[in-house]
Structure 1
Amino acid sequence: MEPAKSFLDLGLHEWLIKQCEIVGLKKPTPVQEQCIPAILAGRDCIGCAKTGSGKTAAFSLPILQKLSEDPYGIFAVVLTPTRELAHQIHEQFRALGKPLGLRLSLIIGGMSLLDQGAELSHKPHVIIATPGRLADHIRSNTSFNMKKAKFLVMDEADRLLVSSFSADLGLILGILPEKRQTLMFSATMSETLEQVKSSAMSDPFIFRIESRIATVDELDQRYVLTPAAVKDAYLVNILQDFLEKHDRSLIMVFVKTCKLCQILTLALQDLGFNCNGLHSMMKQKERLAALARFKSHSIKILISTDVGSRGLDIPKVDLVVNHNVPTVSKDYIHRVGRTARANKPGLAISLVTQFDVRLVHAIEDLMGVKVAEYPFDEELVQASLNEVELAVRQAGIKLDEEDFDERRLINKRKDAILREWEAGEEEKPTQTLGNSSKTKRNKQLKR
């Protein structure tokens, strides 16, 4: 069978093809080529493809076409695990659906509940939401319902189908109609997705790139062996060396915790680097501002926790540095997927201590490739060691003075109280999710 050469071959309407051209989508990617016709034909769909392969357009285009044929609100509900990814999906829907006069509602934390409630009461065509915030609206809802929704989309589905989202997801699934199309997309096929495929969906169309290598060929993957005590000095010198050779490049640095993200951001700024942080303890407007500055090249380095590792489309990132090696190998794939996008080359460097060797081997086994050592002059580290250590120590002191840990504990207490409340709600007859109700969850997904 000849591959599709244009969006017209996929059965899309002319107005939508023209809009694709306007936003720069000239030729369908494999995931779009295979999934769009299946979704237009009314089938459930599971799409698993490498990051940067165009999965958002693979579900947004057929949804917009179906909406144009029978417009009403609320037509589609799109769930995603992070606020940043929700914003990105929102922007793509808005760009592609502009000729329709598309009504969108972005339902995420960090924004006004009242304003969001007013939006929902006006029946937007498409709701794009994180599960927690949408569940909050459902619990307090008096003015909207989703009983006529035609589509449920779960983007980064492997991340959504975990226990931390189960209560909120169960509440959402419980009020969606039985007759709907369920679309799940992810960069990796998890065991949970395999279970859903076999027990909770109605003869889904499945697209999965059969390749053991989970990253693109254009990605150069390297490691640097470093003693744990001087890892920050290694990071600083790798960044300095790379920027001297590629002064227009963008760099993402992934770290393990919010506090470390904040410390490294302050320390690097003190050392003269043009950078910002991105983590879940920042206010939403600060997170969006940091992303916007990074995308516009106003800053060159973005220090991020794993909140920035999934789905974000920043096409010009040239280097990804893993300050820590992820304990979950698939998290590594999502991190390094921020570079080498759209067939452009990219470099990923992981700082590996003596405690991380086992984790690196697990990543190599998952990908089916070996990570090579990055050539690096260690004498540079010795020359700057004291300066870097001082900057990091002063940043830590500043955070302590600002009661950063206390704010984190307050947020944890709030989360614990909410979980206790949800647990009480789940004990009622409306219970839909949890370890004892997997069958109910599967039935809901099958709807």
Structure 2
Amino acid sequence: MNSECFESSSMLLSDLGLENWLVEQCYSMGISDPTPVQRYCIPKILKGENCIGISQTGSGKTLAFALPILQKLSEDPYGIFALVLTPTRELAIQIAEQFKVIGKPIHLEVSVIIGGMNMVAQGSEINSQPHIMVATPGRLADHLKSSNDFSFKRTRFLVLDEADRLLEGQFTEQLEVIFEALPSQRQTLCFSATMSKNLDELKNISCIKPFVWATESDVSTVEKLEQHYVLVPHMLVKNASLIEVLNNFQGKNPDSSAIIFTKNCKCCQLVSVALHNLGFENVALNSHLKQRERLASISKFKSNKSKLLVATDVASRGLDIPMVDLVINYSVPPVPKNYIHRVGRTARAGKGGLAITFITPREIAPLKRIEDEINTKLTEYKVSDKKVLNILLQVEVAWREAAISVEDEDAEEKKEINKRKEEAMQGTELQENKYKRSKHKQKSNKKIKN
């Protein structure tokens, strides 16, 4: 693996072989100095090499592939020139927005193909042959299975963003459908903040031996990130301790934003509703929400209208939310790699940040695995026992009320789903009866004619 040290000597974007219009677009966005991943990967991509870039969250990986792709596109513009695959809808939308901003001078056309949107409208977009397509594997595979009206035969670039997540197994069937539709003669670019077992698989996907660049840091999380744990004996104390941490943080940093990560969608909704009950204005982000609700939550959080986001791991990767100062792991991440992505939401672009993980005595072993992965020891974050005891009852009441509310919402949602299923079944039965009557009538007419 090629892994080079980022030298102290200064280098500008213009030194990487990029054309003036791209450099000027970056300057207009306040970007002049390339990050290490950009410095080493952009020249290789411009030379036509396949590339694997492994670099910390917030290190500028999107521009590392977007800039050379746009330069090559400007030399020979046609669609579909590049396909970018991502594991989440929100990340797909964000990448597309960055392409649009940089590619404005060449009138770039970008399509976002993700779940939660109208299939027919998306099909029309695909048929218009956009220059860049950014997609989640599931929805794109659905389009490929249901339509022969578009082709990737001339596509020059395939990008796997958050490549390790795409190759974990969840998207295997969809990726097989997509790779089958792509030409073998293409450049394959793979980027992620973490990579281990899947590196050989990525090399195979790249077809030709790729250039591999990985940050040389022994620590998988950024140096300016303070990382702590809070040890709690049971859930009652955990919830009250969470409120005490938020009170303390917001009291000292009234203009700062925070993300609370939870283990699943139901837990996310529960914590979000409970915090609302206790006067903490927040927005939730999880895969059970409708797409418009997910986009609204991100918009409110990124615009600082809401300073608290409660989310599942759907928010842990790639989202560019630069103002986050605190990440709280309400639930210990199931694997150490997830921890790296979660805490990567803070301490971005050289700024400091704080990460606090709540653990029970049973979760000390998972914490040790995280420490081994990141090569850093977490220190205890002190929470006032007296203050926690003072709010314990109030917090417990709020959580119980939230649990009832979430259960009622689930029951209402199931009722609505069952209603739609029943209506669909009735519609099917009506069609079958209509078909039977039609066949019976045809037989009767034949008898009359005979």
With normalisation by structure 1, the TM-score equals 0.89
Q: Is the 8 A contact 1:281 1:408 kept in 2?
A: no
Q: Is the 8 A contact 2:371 2:378 kept in 1?
A: yes
Q: 2:195 matched to 1:192?
A: no
- 3-state SS of 1:355 partner: helix
Q: 2:45 matched to 1:39?
A: yes
Return the letter of the residue paired with 1:310. Answer: R
1:73-116 per-residue CA deviation (whole Å, 9 max, x = no partner) reads 00000000001110110110011101010010000011111111
- CA deviation after TM superposition for structure 1 residue 404, in Å: 5.3
Structure 1 segment 81-96 matched on structure 2, within 5 A: 81-96=87-102
Return the letter of the residue paired with 1:58. Answer: A
- Cα distance in 1 between the residues matched to 2:416 and 2:52: 38
Return the letter of the residue paired with 1:142. Answer: N
Could you tell me which residue of structure 2 aligns to residue 320 of structure 1? 327
1:43-86 per-residue CA deviation (whole Å, 9 max, x = no partner) reads 00000000000000000000000000000000000000001110
- Cα distance in 2 between the residues matched to 1:234 and 1:126: 47
Could you tell me which residue of structure 1 aligns to residue 26 of structure 2? 20
Q: Does the C-alpha gap of structure 1 residues 408 and 177 become closer, same or farther in structure 2, counting only changes over 3 Å? A: farther
The match for 1:253 among 233, 249, 260 is 260
Structure 1 segment 219-298 matched on structure 2, within 5 A: 219-230=225-236, 231-298=238-305
Q: Is the 8 A contact 1:150 1:181 kept in 2?
A: yes
Q: Does the C-alpha gap of structure 1 residues 370 and 345 become closer, same or farther in structure 2, counting only changes over 3 Å? A: same
The match for 1:330 among 328, 331, 337 is 337
Could you tell me which residue of structure 1 aligns to residue 425 of structure 2? none
- Cα distance in 2 between the residues matched to 1:157 and 1:407: 35
Q: Is the 8 A contact 2:268 2:311 kept in 1?
A: yes
Could you tell me which residue of structure 2 aligns to residue 370 of structure 1? 377
RMSD: 1.8
- CA deviation after TM superposition for structure 1 residue 405, in Å: 9.1
Aligned residues: 412
- 3-state SS of 1:293 partner: helix
Q: Is the 8 A contact 2:371 2:377 kept in 1?
A: yes
Q: Does the C-alpha gap of structure 1 residues 128 and 198 become closer, same or farther in structure 2, counting only changes over 3 Å? A: closer
- Cα distance in 2 between the residues matched to 1:84 and 1:408: 29
Return the letter of the residue paired with 2:167. Answer: L
Could you tell me which residue of structure 2 aligns to residue 75 of structure 1? 81
Q: Does the C-alpha gap of structure 1 residues 328 and 408 become closer, same or farther in structure 2, counting only changes over 3 Å? A: farther
Could you tell me which residue of structure 2 aligns to residue 428 of structure 1? none
Q: 2:108 matched to 1:102?
A: yes
Q: 2:403 matched to 1:396?
A: yes
Q: Is the 8 A contact 2:162 2:192 kept in 1?
A: yes
- CA deviation after TM superposition for structure 1 residue 195, in Å: 3.6
Q: Is the 8 A contact 1:4 1:10 kept in 2?
A: no
- 3-state SS of 1:5 partner: coil
- CA deviation after TM superposition for structure 1 residue 410, in Å: 6.7
**Where in structure 1 do 4 or more consecutive aligned residues deviate above 6 Å?**
408-411
Q: Is the 8 A contact 1:4 1:28 kept in 2?
A: no
- CA deviation after TM superposition for structure 1 residue 310, in Å: 0.4
1:290-312 per-residue CA deviation (whole Å, 9 max, x = no partner) reads 01101111111100000000011
Q: Is the 8 A contact 2:261 2:329 kept in 1?
A: yes
Return the letter of the residue paired with 1:375. Answer: K
Q: Is the 8 A contact 2:190 2:202 kept in 1?
A: no
1:318-372 per-residue CA deviation (whole Å, 9 max, x = no partner) reads 0000001112000000000000001010000000111110011001111111101
- Cα distance in 2 between the residues matched to 1:2 and 1:277: 41
Could you tell me which residue of structure 2 aligns to residue 426 of structure 1? none
Structure exhibiting the larger radius of gyration computed from Cα positions: 2
Q: 2:207 matched to 1:201?
A: yes
Aligned-residue sequence identity (percent) comes to 52
1:178-210 per-residue CA deviation (whole Å, 9 max, x = no partner) reads 100000000011211234326853121111012
Return the letter of the residue paired with 2:339. Answer: Y
Deviates more, 1:60-69 or 1:369-378: 369-378
Return the letter of the residue paired with 1:385. Answer: L
Q: Is the 8 A contact 1:157 1:193 kept in 2?
A: no
Deviates more, 1:374-383 or 1:218-227: 374-383
- 3-state SS of 2:170 partner: helix
Q: Is the 8 A contact 1:212 1:366 kept in 2?
A: no
Q: Does the C-alpha gap of structure 1 residues 211 and 103 become closer, same or farther in structure 2, counting only changes over 3 Å? A: same
The match for 1:385 among 385, 388, 392 is 392
The match for 2:173 among 156, 161, 167 is 167
Return the letter of the residue paired with 1:306. Answer: D
With normalisation by structure 2, the TM-score equals 0.89
Q: 2:300 matched to 1:300?
A: no
- Cα distance in 2 between the residues matched to 1:404 and 1:2: 59
- Cα distance in 2 between the residues matched to 1:139 and 1:348: 43
Return the letter of the residue paired with 1:130. Answer: T
Q: Does the C-alpha gap of structure 1 residues 161 and 199 become closer, same or farther in structure 2, counting only changes over 3 Å? A: closer
Return the letter of the residue paired with 2:79. Answer: G
Could you tell me which residue of structure 2 aligns to residue 441 of structure 1? none
Q: Is the 8 A contact 1:43 1:205 kept in 2?
A: yes
Could you tell me which residue of structure 1 aligns to residue 355 of structure 2? 348
- 3-state SS of 1:343 partner: coil
